[in-house]
Structure 1
Amino acid sequence: MSDLMKQIRLAAEQEPKTVSQQFLKLMEEVGESSQAYLSSQHASGSGYKQLTTANTKEELTDVLLVTLAILHKLGTTDEELATLVSTKTAKWLSKQDHLTSKKDDK
């Protein structure tokens, strides 16, 4: 994974967009992911695009790459990213555990 992160960092460094412009790109990619998912689920008004779950995965990968590029441009180290992801994952899981225990109480 470290070789992949090196490639992502290199791409981020070569990206001419500013952080502000990358945030706009991130919003665009999130929209494209949503469109792909809606189409893959045959949502009303989205079927004509004939997109699949594979298209959704590709678009979500774009979201991930743009996000990682922004984090890199903001000076986030690999160690800091690992800590942030670990901390946020633990918080996410603790909230899910909290919801599960509330359901069990009913």
Structure 2
Amino acid sequence: MDDLWHQIQQASSQEPKTPDQQFLKLMEEVGEASQAYLSSQKASGADYKQLTVANTQEELVDVLLVTYALLQKLGTSDETLTTLLRTKTAKWLSKQTHSTD
């Protein structure tokens, strides 16, 4: 996994797009993930593409990669990213309601 993480960091650091362009790319990737999900669920007007949950997963990974590249472009260190992930995850968990049935 460390080798993969290193490859992701290397690709992100070599990304030539500006932050503005990367934000637009991120929106494009989110749209593609949404399209794939709608198609996989046979939503009206979207099922003709015959996409699957696997296609949705692939598009969501694109979202993660573009997001990471954008964070790196904005100067986010690994330490800051770790702190943000921990903080946001704790907040997310604290807001979830769990039934006690």
| TM-score for the superposition, normalised by structure 1 | 0.88
| Aligned-pair CA distance for 1:3 | 2.6
* Runs of 4+ displaced beyond 6 Å: none
Deviations 1:7-64 (A, max 9, x none): 1121112111101100000000000000000000000000100000000000000000
Aligned to 1:25: 25
Aligned residues: 100
The 5 A counterparts of 1:20-99 are 20-96=20-96, 99=97
| Aligned-pair CA distance for 1:5 | 2.4
| TM-score for the superposition, normalised by structure 2 | 0.92
Bigger share in helix: 1
Unaligned runs of 5+ in 1: none
| Aligned-pair CA distance for 1:4 | 2.3
Q: Which amino acid aligns with 1:72?
A: Q
Aligned to 1:16: 16
1:61, 1:95 → 2: CA distance?
25
Query: In structure 2, the residue corresponding to 1:7 is in which secondary structure?
Result: helix
| Aligned-pair CA distance for 1:2 | 3.2
Q: Which amino acid aligns with 2:12?
A: A
